[in-house]
Amino acid sequence: MSGSAWFYVEPYIHISMMRDAAVLYNTLNGALIEADYPPVVRLVERLSSATNLRVVELTNSEVADVHVMAFVQSTKEAFVGDLLDQAFSRGRPIEMMPLLHLQDGAFQGSADTFERSGQDIMTYLTEVTVYINTSCDRCCPTCRQAYRQFLACTRGMGSSHELDIVHIAKLVEETQGSGLTRVNIVGGDLFQYSKFGQLTDLMSKVQALKIYVTHYANLLGRDESLSLLAADKSAELRILVDFPLDEERFGQTVPLLSKSGIRYGIDFIVQNESDLQSAEGIVTEMQNQVVSFKACYNGANAEFLKKALFLSREDILDAKPSLREIFARMAVNPLAFGRLVVLSDGAVCASVNTATRGQLGQDSLYDLVYNEMVSGTAWRTPRTAAGPCQACMYNLLCPPRTDYEAALGQQNLCHIRTASPAAIEDMK
Amino acid sequence: MPELTGAAPSSLITFKTQAGNRYAYSRTMNQFLLLHPVLDKLLYLTKEGVDVSNWFASLPNEGTVVDDCGRVSKGQIEYYVRKYRLLADNGYFDQVDQNARLSGTLSAEHVQSLLANVRHVVFEVTDDCNMACEYCAYGKYYSDYDERTGKYLDIGVARNLLTYLLEAWESPLNASHNTPIHIGFYGGEPLLGFGLIREIVDALKHQTTAHNTFSFSMTTNGVLLGKYMDFLVENDFQLLISLDGDETNNAYRILRSGKPAYRATVKSVLALRDKYPDFFIQKVKFNAVLHNRNSVAEVYAFFKHTFAKIPMISGLDTVGIAAGKADEFRSMYRNLHESLTDAANCSSIEADMFLGLPDVWALGNTIYQLSGCSFRDYSELLYGRSQTLIPTGTCLPFSRKLFLSVNGKILPCERVGHQYSLGSVDANGVTLDPADIAENVNQQRAAIRSACVSCCRADICNVCILQQDIQTHTSCPFFMDADDYRGYLSDRLSKLEENRDYYSRLLHQSVAIE
């Protein structure tokens, strides 16, 4: 280096700043640089300003400060930043630093945001989960909890309901202009739905993946229903398996499924290490079968859940979110966005854990989507909006909130930090 | 015109700005990288087909000479080789399959969906006008329009179109809710056909729809504003008034009587401003056409001082010039960019007019399209850009607008020649075949696709082939090879280097990129 230099940070770096600390995250290699030394934090602030565009000249005091220069060197080693001799050019370069922009103004908060919230709004609806009934002859121990945490059947909380097929038909009609890619059909025992034949016929016309969810014990003797499902080539069966397992019944189920020709996958509901071991034993015997493990909080197994679900700093960094994923996490909850749930009594919500936004049969799907988009709390509520995550510098690197947070009654599922409300206020 | 077909362009373009800074743009990652000269050298070697690892291994221990750096040690080069590999491993240098990318086609179902979602309908109320502007798009300099016969749009025809569209807007293919549909009135001078305007506005005001409301707009020369302003204000019209500046600037705008139109226009506009000052502030905009009797500086100063407004300024339409009129037209034409840079207060005008000026718009467009930070909507943010494109920047039919001409022709917009009609409306109803429209669009695009495949700017093309009357793959004047594209990107980033604050300012704007 012959003389003065420009110090710059690359455009693929995500910078997170709180009042007295900064994190620079390399979205290409997962490298992370943390800084709380005040002159370094001020340097990162300067880099992030609207006029510097991530390119600054180091001041004399910065050059003389070994800690600042060590930071500069560490950015270089991690391919986070670099130095450019000013003699290379006749003017200061720029970096197009990552600033999220939505062309319809929705993120910038422009005056016409409200108007545009309704523009092409139905294309945002990508997934609908329909609880068609509550009736079921079984009494599973996780019936009241599992469906609040992941896609699972339930007998529901109140009186018996069955969703009117007319309302389902209307729902299907109103999704024609939508971005629907997936419909989940769940009970109760969905095979007890009184218009099951009509339902499968209706769903076969929907240009989306259909996932029918059932407990394994409800499959025996349902050959006719299974053949209806198998006739729809864009339908799949998701089979819930919990423990203790009725081995005889489960053993009879697998050949039945194979015979029906329907595509299916198995979700093992695990509440403890023992369940997990049992599930893994079954998986070993079922080669090439699509399976997943669903940890289920039952009110008394928090430690197991922590072990199964909670993320460490390393877990978060290993995920290596892209810049676009980070942008998406700034604006919305990507896991919740575009999803609606219809309960068997017709109530519609963004998730089983959020408030009802309306009623199928009374409100149009357009109104329901619009209400969630404009005033809902699920789709457009990023992790950064509330709770301890607000004050966490990893908040945009962390996966979006899921239904587990609601089920466990806490807003972060990580081992990093649990900031007190006072600390959060202090960070703002 | 050279043959415009050839190999697909490189997915990585390196270039220097006017200040000499080196950058690379990766199409795969949609990102600009600031380059150290050593990294630039490695990218150059790659372009020349040299294997970077072999080249590095063959270097002597004392390193080598790199442009601008002098001798660079092997250790320093090794650092940039590692950086090069990091970028390569993350796809920065991957080749985009341009053939696959530009393989998009339009289907009849898509046309139906676009029709059910059309948000802007413009009625050409009349081709009659109370003025005879010398540069009128329907005047002596142009040849690509239906003959003007003082005709007025039949109200029955207009009603038939609305009936047809109302059915489409109420269908489940309409994806919008609680959003306005903009109804525009165009001419000639639309206020000469005020009866039709009133009928349409009254009908739509009382129309109940499940998903939409209606808003109204008009482009007018302003002469009749005094007579109809109460109605326009009552119905909350958005007005775009055509005026080219002060009396001298406005010399090409003349009344049918042959007298200058300036005084009549300004008198009406001032009457509107005095009677409805809030409406004037909120709902009135001006458009000035630039020519050899005005300049950007004069137009800007006039509107700023007379009406406290920032006008839109547009150039004369250069497409469809009549045979034998080219020289005469050329003498009238003035380039907007040159006129702006000629202004003593160029910077302050630019900062004030901002996206209203083509240079800033072009910079904005580059940032919106190529920075990787800007997304059309939540879907693009969540799921990424579409993998396939329908070539050219031509709007898909009805994606932005539907224009009904006074002769009952349905057109994509008012700026497109009438030979590109998409359908028609008469007393019996609407004749429009989505399958035919899709087939025509696919044929038009197929005719030019081979040029697009080798054009560096194909991803962000904003050329309307209908407006420019580009019909074959050999006739696109906007085709960019790698050198052209280098120059294009260099211009944009040079402007940004000189106006660093524009970046965040542009990324705080709401815009509509097609």
Domain ranges of chain A: 5-88, 125-380
What pLDDT digit, counting tens, does each position of B417-464 carry? 888 999 999 999 999 999 999 999 999 999 999 999 999 999 889 999
What does the alpha-carbon distance between residue B61 and residue B57 come to, in Å, rounded to a whole number? 10
The nearest CA of chain A is from the CA of B108 a distance in Å of 15
CB of B31 within 8 Å of any CB in chain A? yes
Topology (CATH level 3) of domain A125-380: TIM Barrel (3.20.20)
Predicted local distance difference test score (pLDDT) of residue A419: 41
Contacts of A29 in chain B (CB under 8 A): 86
pLDDT of A97 strictly over 90? yes
Residue B202 DSSP one-character state? H
The reply to whether residue B510 touches residue A108, judged by beta carbons under 8 angstroms, is yes
The answer to whether residues A315 and A306 touch, using CB atoms and an 8 Å cutoff, is no
Look at residues B352, B379, B412 and tell me which one is the last residue of a structural domain.
Answer: B352
Selected for mutation to probe chain B from A85, A96, A112, A170 (highest B CB count within 10 Å) is A96
Domain boundaries, position B303: 236-352
Query: Could you give the percent of chain A with pLDDT greater than 70?
Result: 93
Q: Which residues contact B238 (CB under 8 A, 6 or more apart)?
A: B215, B216, B217, B218, B283, B285
Summarize the confidence of residues A347-374 as an average pLDDT. 94
What is B10-59 written as a DSSP string?
Answer: PSEEEEE-TT--EEEEETTTTEEEE--HHHHHHHHHHHTT--HHHHHHTS
CB of B208 within 8 Å of any CB in chain A? no
The reply to whether residue A89 touches residue B19, judged by beta carbons under 8 angstroms, is yes
Q: Where are the alpha helices (DSSP H) in A140-296?
A: 165-174, 196-204, 223-231, 247-260, 273-285
Low-confidence residues of chain B: pLDDT under 70: 1-9, 144-146, 510-514
CB of B175 within 8 Å of any CB in chain A? yes
Predicted local distance difference test score (pLDDT) of residue B469: 81
Number of domains in chain B: 2
Query: What count of other Cβ atoms lies within 10 Å of the Cβ of residue A273?
Result: 12
Helices B108-116 and B155-170: angle between axes, nearest 10 degrees: 100
pLDDT of A109 strictly over 60? no
Average pLDDT along chain A = 91
Distant-in-sequence contacts of B334-343, Cβ < 8 A, 24+ apart: B334/B290, B334/B291, B334/B292, B334/B294, B334/B295, B336/B290, B336/B296, B339/B290, B339/B295, B339/B296, B339/B297, B340/B296, B340/B297, B342/B295, B342/B296, B342/B297, B343/B295, B343/B296, B343/B297, B343/B300
What pLDDT digit, counting tens, does each position of A147-168 carry? 999 999 999 766 778 999 999 9
Task: pLDDT band for A422, please (50, 70, 90 cuts).
Answer: very low
What does the alpha-carbon distance between residue B384 and residue B273 come to, in Å, rounded to a whole number? 46
Predicted local distance difference test score (pLDDT) of residue B25: 97
Query: Is ipTM beyond 0.90?
Result: yes
Query: What count of other Cβ atoms lies within 10 Å of the Cβ of residue B312?
Result: 16
What does the alpha-carbon distance between residue B194 and residue B223 come to, in Å, rounded to a whole number? 13
The reply to whether residue A11 touches residue B375, judged by beta carbons under 8 angstroms, is no
What does the alpha-carbon distance between residue A333 and residue B382 come to, in Å, rounded to a whole number? 10
| Structure token pair of residue A250 | 């489960």
The answer to whether residues A261 and A230 touch, using CB atoms and an 8 Å cutoff, is yes
What pLDDT digit, counting tens, does each position of A383-409 carry? 888 788 888 889 999 999 999 998 888
The reply to whether residue B17 touches residue A173, judged by beta carbons under 8 angstroms, is no
Residue B76 placed within a domain: yes
The reply to whether residue A332 touches residue B381, judged by beta carbons under 8 angstroms, is yes
CATH code of residue B328: 3.30.750
Closest CA to B182 of B237, B247, B245: B237
Contacts of B33 in chain A (CB under 8 A): 10-11
The answer to whether residues A260 and A226 touch, using CB atoms and an 8 Å cutoff, is yes
Summarize the confidence of residues A205-214 as an average pLDDT. 97
In which element (H, E) is residue B98 found?
Answer: helix B98-101
**Cα dihedral sign, A307-A310-A315-A320:** positive
Residue B265 placed within a domain: yes
- CA terminus-to-terminus distance, chain B: 28
Q: How many CB pairs under 8 A join A and B?
A: 194
What pLDDT digit, counting tens, does each position of A265-296 carry? 999 999 999 999 999 999 988 877 889 999 99
The reply to whether residue A96 touches residue B210, judged by beta carbons under 8 angstroms, is no
User: Which residue type sits at A13?
Assistant: I
Residue B48 placed within a domain: yes
Predicted local distance difference test score (pLDDT) of residue B437: 98
What does the alpha-carbon distance between residue B118 and residue B398 come to, in Å, rounded to a whole number? 5
The reply to whether residue A324 touches residue B179, judged by beta carbons under 8 angstroms, is no
Query: What count of other Cβ atoms lies within 10 Å of the Cβ of residue A360?
Result: 24
Residue B44 placed within a domain: yes
What does the alpha-carbon distance between residue A193 and residue B141 come to, in Å, rounded to a whole number? 72
The nearest CA of chain B is from the CA of A7 a distance in Å of 11
What does the alpha-carbon distance between residue B223 and residue B438 come to, in Å, rounded to a whole number? 41
The reply to whether residue B503 touches residue A120, judged by beta carbons under 8 angstroms, is no
Topology (CATH level 3) of domain A5-88: Outer Surface Protein A; domain 3 (3.90.930)
Predicted local distance difference test score (pLDDT) of residue B472: 78
Residue B443 placed within a domain: no
The answer to whether residues B112 and B118 touch, using CB atoms and an 8 Å cutoff, is no
Predicted local distance difference test score (pLDDT) of residue A374: 86
Residue B291 placed within a domain: yes
The answer to whether residues B171 and B116 touch, using CB atoms and an 8 Å cutoff, is yes
Residue B286 placed within a domain: yes
